[in-house]
Every structure is written in C-alpha cells, then in structure tokens.
C-alpha cells in the first residue's frame, strides 16, 4: 500500500470519528431539550405531593418539547437555560390541539420566557379568581397559538385544581394596549405573544388569545385545600 493511500485512510478514519462525535453531541442536546419541559412538569407534580400542595394525577401523556415550529435562535436560548436552576413552576399550561404542555413561571423576564411561559406581573395570580395573563415567545412555545381557533379548549393545572378554559376571542393589538389584561369578576385566561409570528425583527403587534372559564376538577381534599389557602394568604400578606 502506498504512503498516499495510508494517509488517505487515516484521514477518512479521523473524519468518521469526528462525524460520529458531532452526531452524538447533537443527539444528546436534542433529547435534553425534548424532555426538559416534561422534567419541569414532573417537578411541579412532585412538589404538589407535599402536605400543602397535594394533588392527584400526574403528567400522563405529557408532551415533549416540539422544536418543529421554533426558530434556531429560540432553540439555542432555550437549551442555554437547561443548565440553570429554576424554581418549580406555579402551574402547567396545556393546549391539546397544538400538543403544548409548558411550565408556567412567575414573571416575564428573558430567562423565564426562554425556559417556559410566564404570568404577567400585575394580572391575577394563578389560583385566584380573575384574568390571568400569560406571555410566551412567538418563535418558541407560543408559536402554535397561530393554529388555535375560537372554541378550542385549554387547561391550566395548579397545585389545587385542573381548570378548563374555552377560547372565546382572538385578536391583535398594539403593544401599548393593556386593556386586554384588565381584571374580570370571573376566571379568565389571556395568552399574549408577539405578532406576526414569522416577522423578522421586533414584531409590531401583540397576538391575544382570550379564554373563559369552563370548569374545574379539584385535586385536593378539603383539609389540604384549607392548608394551601392559609399558606397562600400568609404569603400574600408578607408580599410587599
């Protein structure tokens, strides 16, 4: 065998090994992303089995993160959060039609919205009666909202209950139109994301999906519910 042939075979072997390493790394990264949302949901359920947050059921049928509609930028920013510590989510938002299951955190800073979706501060707290505003990225978890229509259902699971909502309106507004987040005397859910969904740059509008309360399934017995309410009341009193 000539010297040139030996060098060529060595080069081929090196390239093969390098290719296998790259494929392995990409596969591990992809799988980490797909299961992370389920891990957050499972963490929520695990916390909810404590004496103050007990609830039945689990995340059976929980959907893994589906990147198919996401932008490359959002995937990278989401994956960057996987090494960070997050508190347990305050709820789980599910929209079966678009196979969405995403942890809901408190607040809407970049770190939170890169990891899940967030309750808009100033709107009703999850578990209380009123209009709960939840924001998410249009090129990430909330891109699927483009396929939601009036009449579709969504579910918000808290430590105490599983609440079902029905979409009753969808519209676009300017970023400074905060009337969509005004409180209501009955339970409601308002999902907010930027619009248009595939706009390049800073999107000029906001896409608003409003849903009205349909029903609730309690996940706690009465003593557990009373304990949770007492804890929530004390927390609220101590919140500046």
Structural domain count, the chain:
1
- Specify whether the CB–CB gap between 171 and 209 falls below 8 A: no
Question: Which pLDDT tens digit goes with each residue over 54-92?
Answer: 333 333 333 478 899 999 999 999 999 999 999 999 999
- What is the C-alpha to C-alpha distance for residues 42 and 59, in angstroms, rounded to an integer? 7
Question: Which pLDDT tens digit goes with each residue over 8-62?
Answer: 567 566 566 656 656 555 555 555 555 455 555 555 554 443 333 333 333 333 3
User: Phi and psi at residue 117, in whole multiples of 5°?
Assistant: -125, 165
Radius of gyration of the chain (CA): 22
- What is the C-alpha to C-alpha distance for residues 101 and 164, in angstroms, rounded to an integer? 14
Per the model's pLDDT, the better-predicted residue between 102 and 49 turns out to be 102
Q: Is the pLDDT of residue 224 over 70?
A: no
The residue segments making up the domain with residue 173 are 3-237
Here the CATH number for the domain that contains residue 156 is: 2.40.260.10
Question: Which pLDDT tens digit goes with each residue over 226-235?
Answer: 554 555 555 4
Distances (CA, A) of 91 to 5, 110, 218: 62, 19, 14
The two three-digit tokens of residue 65, written as one number: 């993160």
Give 87's contacts (C-beta < 8 A, 6+ positions apart): 105
């Amino acid at each position: 065998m000539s010297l040139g042939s030996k060098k060529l075979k060595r080069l081929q072997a090196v390239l093969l090994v390098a290719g296998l390493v790259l494929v392995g790394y990409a596969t591990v990264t992809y799988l980490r992303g797909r299961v992370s949302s389920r891990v957050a949901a499972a963490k929520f359920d695990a916390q909810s089995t404590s004496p103050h947050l007990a609830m039945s059921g689990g995340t059976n049928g929980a959907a893994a993160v589906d990147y198919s509609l996401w932008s490359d930028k959002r995937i990278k920013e989401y994956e960057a959060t996987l090494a960070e510590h997050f508190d347990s989510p305050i709820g789980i938002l599910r929209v079966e039609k678009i196979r969405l299951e995403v942890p809901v955190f408190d607040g809407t800073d970049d770190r939170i919205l890169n990891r899940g979706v967030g309750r808009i501060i100033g709107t009703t707290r999850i578990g209380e009666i009123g209009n709960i505003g939840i924001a998410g990225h249009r090129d990430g978890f909330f891109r699927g909202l483009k396929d939601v229509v009036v009449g579709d259902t969504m579910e918000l699971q808290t430590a105490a209950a599983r609440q079902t909502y029905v979409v009753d309106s969808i519209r676009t507004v300017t970023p400074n139109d905060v009337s969509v987040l005004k409180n209501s005397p009955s339970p409601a859910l308002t999902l907010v994301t930027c619009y248009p969904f595939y706009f390049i740059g800073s999107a000029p509008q906001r896409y608003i999906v409003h849903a009205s309360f349909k029903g609730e399934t309690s996940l706690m017995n009465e003593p557990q519910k009373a304990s949770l309410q007492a804890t929530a009341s004390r927390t609220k009193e101590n919140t500046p």
